[in-house]
Structure 1
Amino acid sequence: MTAPSHTLSSEELLQHILTSLEDDKAEDVVQVDLRGKSEMADYMVIASGRSSRQVSSMSEHVVDRLKREHGRLCKIEGKDAGDWVLIDSGDVIVHVFRPEVREFYQIEKMWQSPADQASAQRN
């Protein structure tokens, strides 16, 4: 494990997570800015994988890369089932879903403003 040269800002952490998900071919990646809306984190990332295996693998890669490259320890839940994996990296919360599970829970909608929801319904 490489010791981090500096503490990652929440924006830098977000970029590393997005890069890892992109490298692993995550689909429908959405980032939600939680600053001023929630005390739990600065950002939330929501992504989909095509199968339980891909969801688990992508999630494991995010956690492993953050630990290896930045010394950042994350909590991970749901990896064994692979339907919905939650990664808590501190400043960024990551949800990785199978598409049908993501559609069922629709957690993006909880964080949209009413104007965003109306716009999404029109499209």
Structure 2
Amino acid sequence: MEEKILKEIISEMERLKLYNILQYYSKGHSIIADYFIVSTAESLMQIEAARNKLIELMEKYFLYLKNPLEEWHDGWCLMDFGNIIVHVFLEEVRNFYNLESLFEGAGFELLTNTNKT
């Protein structure tokens, strides 16, 4: 079931024109979640649209946002759906935090890389 959900998340992110989408598998390396998805948006409006659509998608599977605050206007929206955590960044914010280095340094396995720029 998780594979189906993850594929739908990636597909929805691509439909919403998010780019440079990376999906990591962390089982055994993190107590927070098994899957982390990182993506880039062009604007705050695009982040808001992605947030709303992904929340709607996850509710279809009875997975609800565990951090419902709307405090994401700094260019980074983190959505915690339990075992799946989704990050949507503006490019400059993503470059600053560079989560990819953290994930790869911790031994997370890269499962998906859309490499769209």
Q: TM-score range by the shorter chain?
A: 0.7 to 0.9
Corresponding residue of 2:14: 22
Is 1:98 matched with 2:94? no
TM-score (ref. length: structure 1): 0.76
Give per-residue Cα distances to partners, 1:45-87, cap 9 Å, x unaligned: 00000011101111111011211x2222123445551610001
Q: Bigger shift: 10-19 or 26-35?
A: 10-19
For the pair 1:36 / 2:9, whether they are aligned, the reply is: no
CA distance in 2, matches of 1:79, 1:24: 21
Q: Distance in 2 between matches of 1:112 and 1:41?
A: 15
Matching of residue 73 in structure 1 with residue 64 in structure 2? yes
- Point out the structure with max Rg over C-alpha: 1
* Higher fraction of strand: 2
Give SS of 1:112's match. Answer: helix
Distance 1:29 1:51 in 2: 16
CA distance in 1: counterparts of 2:80 and 2:64, whole angstroms: 9
User: Among residues 54, 62, 67, which one is paired with 2:46 in the alignment?
Assistant: 54
Name the counterpart of 1:87: 79
How many angstroms apart in 2 are the aligned matches of 1:28 and 1:79? 23
RMSD of the TM alignment (CA)?
2.0
Alignment gaps of 5+ in structure 1:
1-8, 116-123
Amino acid at match of 2:5: L
Of all paired residues, the percent bearing the same amino acid is 27
Structure with larger RCO (C-alpha < 8 A, sep 6+): 2
> How far apart are residue 113 of structure 1 and its match?
3.7
Q: TM-score, normalised on structure 2? A: 0.80
Q: Name the SS for the 1:66 alignment partner.
A: helix
Q: Which runs of 5+ in 2 are unaligned?
A: 108-117
For these two proteins, the number of residue pairs brought into alignment is: 106
